[in-house]
Amino acid sequence: MYNTLTGEKEVFNSLEPGRVSMYVCGPTTYNYIHLGNARPLVVFDTVRRFLEYLGYEVKYVQNFTDVDDKIIRKSKEENVKPHELAERFIREYYQDADALRVKRANIHPRVSEHMDEIIKFIMGLVEKGIAYEVEGDVYFSVSRFADYGKLSGRSLEDLQAGARVEVDARKDNPADFALWKKVKVGEPSWESPWGYGRPGWHIECSAMSHKYLGATFDIHAGGCDLVFPHHENEIAQSEGLYDAPMARYWLHNGFITVNQEKMSKSLGNFFLVRDILQKFSASVIRFYLLSTHYRSPLDFADDKLESARKGLERLQTSYRLLQEHLDQGNIIVETNQTDIFVEFDKDINGYRKQFLDAMNDDFNTALAIAVLFDFARSINTIISKGRITSKEQQILVSAAKVYIELAGVLGLEIEEAQVEGGSDLVDGLMELVLSIRKEAREKKDYQTSDKIRDTLKNLGLILEDTPQGVRWRRQ
RNA sequence: GGUGCGGUGGCGAAGAGGCUAACGCUGCGGACUGCAAAUCCGCCAUGCGCCGGUUCAAAUCCGGCCCGCACCUCCA
């Protein structure tokens, strides 16, 4: 996997055999999540699923930033208490993340519930002399941490040269950042040795990751805009206090762009997951997010999601056809396997291997998906060969199993969309309509039969005539 | 100004020294079908931003240039 810290792909070795500890920076809960927020969720959820597939026991921690300037500002606008606002959007977060099949973390720590740990952490830094208090604020002294800049590849001189931060004369160094902010009127605050106040942005991840994963853990992940300053500062805090490497592998996903520009809240060009779900299913969104390598930028546009929709549908169709083929049970009892099935049987393992090789190479989901397409084509071809022997049926059953298993590593729902068919009423009506159409076709009254097909299509019901009779499905 | 990422067919996107440059979408031709749909088969980059260099061999390595994006301030 590619490690931002070294700038190279490295072989992954976990700290403890068979176990992986992983911390992912979660959202600040003051709004619904947008697609840009969803990308790391889906990408790192996939990393987790893959590690679990390989047999690791993954301890996955993802925080909620529920104490923050933006929450306070928005709560004033909406005239609700900050913690109520945060609480509400945590619930909304789960709704979107669950839809995208993002597995819940083992622990979802919140800043508001970890004040003791945070304050103790800061006290430790002050005692070690790498943080200092000024009038109720506490700052981290970057000049006291020799490795400052190692993650983002910049030096303190670089930072000063291009400094856009207004200089605060009370700081020893302009790059020093706040660990603790003195309370302002009307803001939530907690008691501390420096008076009432609240934590700075970066300290929470250092304190909470330490509590749940220890001074050193395996993987720390987040969006690439967090490399600097957020993760750089986390390293300074954690390594400054514990003198041990914070995380061994740092993973960063690329941005979602809109017209090649970063999707962000400040530019206002963001799309909420919730709104996109009006047009596309969560599975399609997930598929789309995984169709590009996680470190590359990914441009958002309706036609690109539409293309993803068609692609995913292709994968789903293969599975559906395979199931139907097996359900039809047109097995003939013979012993001689044809060559093509022998070949296909070998291919199944080949696809699995190719898929895993792709994932093993820095989570190349785009390539892994390509393998699924090859697999799908193979399935489509083999089942078009018609009747099968019982031995051949076994091969198809195992193909179905592997196919679902690999899709599952990506968290893709391949077998969905068919059962949702409907109520007894719909089924009953469809039975009636289809029998009328069947009669019309038998009488070669194609005008009527096509009218039925076209009308149903406009209602979102697709009819497909096959040698075994008509088949219908939604969408 | 500093730091980093990237430019591959109509679109999206893999590939990172050597088989005909994957895969998906679109388009075109064919098979199947009453016609469709789905599926299958075939076609669509003598070329991978531009110019040089290294090499028997370069999208892939090196140098220069052009263009785009991001970070250096809250953002995933």
pLDDT tens, residue by residue, A48-63: 999 999 999 999 999 9
Q: Which residue has the tokens 């599952």?
A: A408
| Nucleic acid strand B within 7 Å of A364 CB | yes
The yes-or-no verdict on residue A337 having pLDDT over 50 is yes
**H/E element, A37:** helix A35-53
| Nucleic acid strand B within 7 Å of A229 CB | yes
Round to whole Å and give the CA distance between A75 and A72: 5
Nucleotide nearest to A309 (CA to C1'): B25
Nucleotide nearest to A253 (CA to C1'): B76
User: By percentage, how much of chain A surpasses pLDDT 70?
Assistant: 94
Round to whole Å and give the CA distance between A265 and A35: 11
Give me the pLDDT at residue A474, please: 79
Q: Which residue has the tokens 């996903």?
A: A253
Nucleotide nearest to A261 (CA to C1'): B69
Å separating the CA of residue A161 from the C1' of nucleotide B5:
22
pLDDT tens, residue by residue, A253-290: 999 999 888 898 888 889 999 999 999 999 999 999 99
Between A160 and A462, the higher pLDDT residue: A462
Helix (H, G, I), strand (E, B) or coil at A473: strand
Tell me the average pLDDT of chain A: 90
Give me the pLDDT at residue A338, please: 67
Handedness of CA A447, A448, A452, A458 (dihedral sign): positive
Å separating the CA of residue A31 from the C1' of nucleotide B53:
54
Amino acid at A265: K
Strands A469-474 and A461-466: antiparallel
Across A377-402, average pLDDT: 88
| Nucleic acid strand B within 7 Å of A438 CB | no
Q: Which of residues 78-137 of A touch strand B (CB under 7 A)?
A: none
Q: Which of residues 17-76 of A touch strand B (CB under 7 A)?
A: 25, 27-28, 36-37, 39-40, 70
pLDDT tens, residue by residue, A139-151: 999 989 988 988 9
Tell me what ipTM this predicted complex has.
0.94
Cite the DSSP H helix spans in A128-202: 156-161
Nucleotide nearest to A159 (CA to C1'): B72
| Nucleic acid strand B within 7 Å of A342 CB | no
| Nucleic acid strand B within 7 Å of A296 CB | yes
**H/E element, A435:** helix A424-442
Between A326 and A109, the higher pLDDT residue: A109
Q: How many Cα atoms within 13 Å fall on the side-chain side of residue A108?
A: 15
Binned at pLDDT 50, 70 and 90, residue A418 comes out as very low
| Nucleic acid strand B within 7 Å of A464 CB | yes
Between A323 and A154, the higher pLDDT residue: A323
Give me the pLDDT at residue A31, please: 92
- Look up the protein residue whose alpha carbon has the minimum distance to the C1' of B14: A367
Give me the pLDDT at residue A426, please: 84
Positions on chain B within 7 A of a protein C-beta: 1-6, 11-15, 22-26, 33-41, 68-76
Strand order in the sheet with A197-199: A131-134, A137-140, A177-182, A197-199
Binned at pLDDT 50, 70 and 90, residue A332 comes out as low
Round to whole Å and give the CA distance between A226 and A68: 16
- Crossing angle between the packed helical segments A339-360 and A365-383, to the nearest 10 degrees: 170
Round to whole Å and give the CA distance between A206 and A402: 40
The yes-or-no verdict on residue A161 having pLDDT over 70 is no
